[in-house]
Structure 1
Amino acid sequence: MRKTSLWYRLGEVRRMPSRNVPNRSTPFAYLDWYRLRRNLERMQSLADTHRVALRPHIKTHKSVPIAREQLNLGAVGVTASKPSEAASFVRAGVPSLLLAFPVVDPRKIRGLLELAADHGTAMTFILDSEEGADALSGAARHAGKQIDVHIKIDVGLGRVGVSPRGPELIRLAEYTAREARLRLTGLISHAGHGYAATRPAMLAAIAREERHLMLEARERLAPIESNLRLTVGSTPTVLAAENFTGIDEIRPGNYALLDLTAERLGVATEDDIALGVVATVISKGSQNYIIDAGSKALTSDLGPHSSGGLSGFGRVLLLEDQVSNLRLNVSRLSEEHGFVPREGTDLPIGTRLLILPNHSCPVVNLYDRLVVGDDPATDVEVSARGAVD
């Protein structure tokens, strides 16, 4: 166990109980409910300690039951990516939802606005362009409403958002303020470039810079709107942050399940990872075991934002002997097969293995249900699986 893990500073340092993985037909996605619940409690404790609101991103688990756990523990609402993904959670009655993806076609959210009105869900949208403001304004006009919007700030990832220090921020805020159907309520950021960090100190520096840039952007916009909320995201930077002063809300997502990327970054240990894919050795040659889980069960993702830094497509644990220190890697993938180098071992055909993922979020999206126990009635539905529009 790595005593420097930032995650373990949030609570008692101890090894979690051995996984009691059900004996179901493989491959399947296994959810360790004990670890999940512990992860959720720790993040809520962090938010409470620093007096920031927690609005978890549900793109990681895409599951209404897990979102309910987060809300019951104290989350103020949820974050979603796409309108179709958000719809499942609005139907479930979440109190508020932030759609953290730019909308440029007003038709994309007309149905979502109607759904939110029917279920009493408060909605917030983001924008980073005048075209986005026009689209949101058009959708709001069609719905006969005024809607809340946050401007997306690019704090270093270079994906979407406006520079916190450039003239476009002022221009966009002024343009948005002139739109009668839009209410400028906040600034939003995602320091996803933190996933490329190689040590916790780098993460802490990125989190520190994110906070400073967001505070600076809010100060620049004070003459236009003086009461803007600041909402920041990314599990690694939230866990590495040393100071949340001035920040109103955090939006981590991956913290619920975690994965090998979080371990590589030093914000989790193997014992924290709550998601795995259970597979079976179906053949073996002189060099490799062949398992019944390929790219359609594991994904070929090497880390968020193509960050990489990991060897292979998942870490292999031997289920039948949980005290064993055996750790292998999935080195190659076909669609339905995985290659696991034997490395001097001799496992029988039929051996069950637990594979810890590089990146849990895309793995969840491959499955209809997450297996918790032997009884299928306990399975957790992936409510928004495949919801990508």
Structure 2
Amino acid sequence: MQPLDTWYRIRNESDVDSPALLVFPDRIQQNIVLLKSMIDDPRRLRPHVKTHKTKELTRLQLEAGISRFKCATVAEAVMLGECEAPDVLMAYPLYGPKLSRFVSLTKRFPKTNFSAIVDHPDAARALADAAMQAGVIIDVFVDLNIGMGRTGIQPGAAAMALYQQCGQSEGLAIQGFHAYDGQVHERDIEKRKVICTQNFEQVKRMAEQVQAAGFAKPRIVIGGSPSFPIYATYPDVECSPGTFILWDKGYADGLPDQPFLPAAVLLTRIVSMPAANRLCVDLGHKAVAAENPLERRVYFLNAPDLKPISQSEEHLVLEAPVGHAWKTGDVLYGLPQHICPTVALYDSLTVVEHGAYAGRWTVASRNRS
């Protein structure tokens, strides 16, 4: 076993039930400072709140001068409105009850300017109708598909027609383009730069076309965490990293050019020893994101030689080296491979200050309703 007198270890771990997701505000603050140092103007930052879903972390960013945010759920938009975030982009298609719920936020939170994305003429018409019925005007961005293949309209004539439709629709105020390139994961930043340059060219051409058609210069919201350092060097572009605030094992390994600090750690306990070289901990599917292969779900900081061999809803079974000294009740500290869906598994985050458990932050927008 490694010594436990390291940054993630808490003195009063016996007071913390497991599994728990620990967060470290001092490291979070350092990550916010680093983020701001990577761009010329914090007004070009539009961080995504899906990573943390909490008011406390939103307020830390507001206090740091970050005023624009992006979200994926109405619950996240509500959380941002309750924090009086000045500018919120709902970067998710709005259909069904989500549409009316979103439009109602413009009156419920008058200090927040809410905007939406559209990628289809029907979506634009539905949003315009809902806005007119509510007597409001909704800022809107046309969502471009630049390779992710998930949402968005292909750049070209259809995207131009949609932009013009939004510009002519009562109830809508066309703002520009939104584009997400989540398919970009190259570890080598030089390779990432090449791909991002190609992706941005598609958006740039659309921006030139709409200006030639008489529209004002469009705002461009683009990218995520991997592409953030590249787009941060582009003038006027709004960048949308999200994971930076808590970071995780996946990005720490995959993005060595971004020296953010891991600021969220899983605390779990050995609850059984079914064999001499088998340990069972209380870190099942309900406690850590399980979309990655078993061996890439969690990395134990104080036990890197433990090997996951099976996982179920409430249990994770680990293989230990021969002659290990672990015993039931011992605490393990693990970095999640993917922090965003891991946060969504917890009602609250366990706050660690000065090396000790100090309280809890509610994951306010985990509840979608």
Task: Name 1:13's counterpart in structure 2.
Answer: none
Alignment partner of 1:156 is 2:158: no
Give the drift of 1:209.
2.5
Aligned residue among 359, 365, 369 for 2:348: 369
TM-score w.r.t. the length of structure 2 is 0.89
The answer for unaligned runs of 5 or more in structure 2 is: 1-5
Structure 1 residues 109-118 or 226-235, which shifts more? 109-118
Q: 1:155·1:163 contact (CA, 8 Å) conserved in 2?
A: yes
CA drift at 1:332: 2.5
> Displacement of 1:228 after TM fit?
0.7
Aligned residue for 1:87, secondary structure, equals: helix
User: Equivalences for 1:32-51 in 2 at 5 Å?
Assistant: 32-47=24-39, 49=40
DSSP 3-state at the match of 1:311? helix
* Contact persistence 1:292–1:338 (CA under 8 A): yes
**Structure 2 match to 1:3:** none
Contact kept? 2:67, 2:85, Cα under 8 Å: no
Aligned residue in 2 for 1:333 = 311
**Does the CA-based 8 Å contact 1:113-1:143 persist in structure 2?**
yes
User: Contact (CA 8 Å) 1:287, 1:341: kept in 2 or not?
Assistant: yes
- Please, what TM-score do these two structures have when normalized by structure 1? 0.84
Taking the aligned partners of 1:256 and 1:373, their CA distance within structure 2 comes to: 15
CA distance in 1, matches of 2:180, 2:79: 23
| Count of residue correspondences | 356
1:312 aligns to what?
Answer: 296
How much has 1:135 moved relative to structure 2? Answer: 1.5
1:346 alignment partner, SS class = coil
User: 2:366 maps to which residue?
Assistant: 385
Structure 2 CA distance for partners of 1:91 and 1:386, relative to 1, 3 Å: same
Shift of 1:53: 1.2
Moved more, 64-73 or 365-374: 365-374
Deviation at 1:242, TM superposition (A): 6.8
Match of 2:93 in 1: 102
Structure 1 residues 59 and 180 mapped into 2: Cα distance closer, same or farther (>3 Å)? Answer: same
Structure 1: give runs of 5+ residues left out of the alignment: 1-16, 303-307, 319-324
Residue pair 1:194, 1:206 contacting (<8 A) in 2 also = yes
Q: Shift in Å at residue 358 of structure 1? A: 1.1
User: Residues 231 and 42 from structure 1, CA distance in 2 versus in 1: closer, same or farther, beyond 3 angstroms?
Assistant: same
Contact 2:147 2:183 in 1 (8 A): yes
| Number of the residue aligned with 1:258 | 247
State the match for 1:127 in structure 2.
118
Matches within 5 A, 1:55-94: 55-94=46-85
Structure 1's 142 and 171: CA in aligned 2 closer, same or farther, altered over 3 A? Answer: same
Whole-Å separation in 2 of the counterparts to 1:364 and 1:329: 23
Indicate how the Cα distance of structure 1 residues 376 and 258 shifts in structure 2: closer, same or farther if over 3 A, else same. Answer: closer
Q: Secondary structure at the match of 1:340?
A: strand
Contact 2:297 2:338 in 1 (8 A): no
Once the two structures are superposed, the pairs formed by residues 248-287 of structure 1 within 5 Å of their partners are: 248-267=237-256, 272-284=261-273, 285-287=275-277
Q: Which amino acid aligns with 2:246?
A: L
Give 1:118 shift: 3.2
Aligned letter for 2:244?
Y
1:346 paired residue number: 325
8 Å CA contact 1:148–1:184 kept in 2: the answer is yes
Q: Which amino acid aligns with 1:162?
A: I
SS of structure 2 residue aligned to 1:79: strand
Relative to structure 1, is the Cα distance of residues 243 and 291 closer, same or farther in structure 2, using a 3 angstrom cutoff? closer
Contact kept in structure 2, 1:316 and 1:329, CA below 8 Å: no
Deviation readout 1:99-152 (Å, 9 max, x if unpaired): 0001133x4233333333232210110000001101210110121011110011
Whether contact under 8 Å (1:259, 1:359) holds in the other structure is: yes
Match of 1:175 among 165, 188, 191: 165
Partner of 2:22: 30
The question of whether the paired residues in 1 share the 8 Å contact of 2:70 and 2:90 is answered with yes
- Separation (CA, whole Å) in 2 of partners of 1:376 and 1:115: 35
State which drifts further: 127-136 or 260-269: 260-269
Q: Write the distance in 2 (CA, Å) between the matches of 1:231 and 1:211.
A: 11
Separation of aligned partners in 2, 1:376 and 1:51: 32
* AA of the residue aligned to 2:28: L
CA–CA separation in structure 1 for the residues paired with 2:295 and 2:177: 37
8 Å CA contact 2:77–2:88 kept in 1: the answer is yes
CA–CA distance in 1 between the matches of 2:327 and 2:278? Answer: 12
What whole-Å deviation, never above 9, does each CA across 1:242-299 have from its counterpart, x for those lacking one?
A: 7633443111111111111102212478982111210001122234211011000012
- Tell whether the 8 Å contact from 2:244 to 2:260 is kept in structure 1 after alignment: no
Change (3 A) 1:66 1:51: closer
- Three-state SS of the structure 1 residue aligned to 2:286 is helix
Separation in structure 1 between the aligned mates of residue 87 and residue 74 of structure 2, nearest angstrom = 14
Q: CA deviation at 1:329?
A: 4.3
1:340–1:273: structure 2 CA closer, same or farther, 3 Å change rule?
Answer: same
Q: 1:134 to 1:198 in 2, by over 3 A?
A: same
C-alpha distance in 2 between matches for 1:92 and 1:337: 37
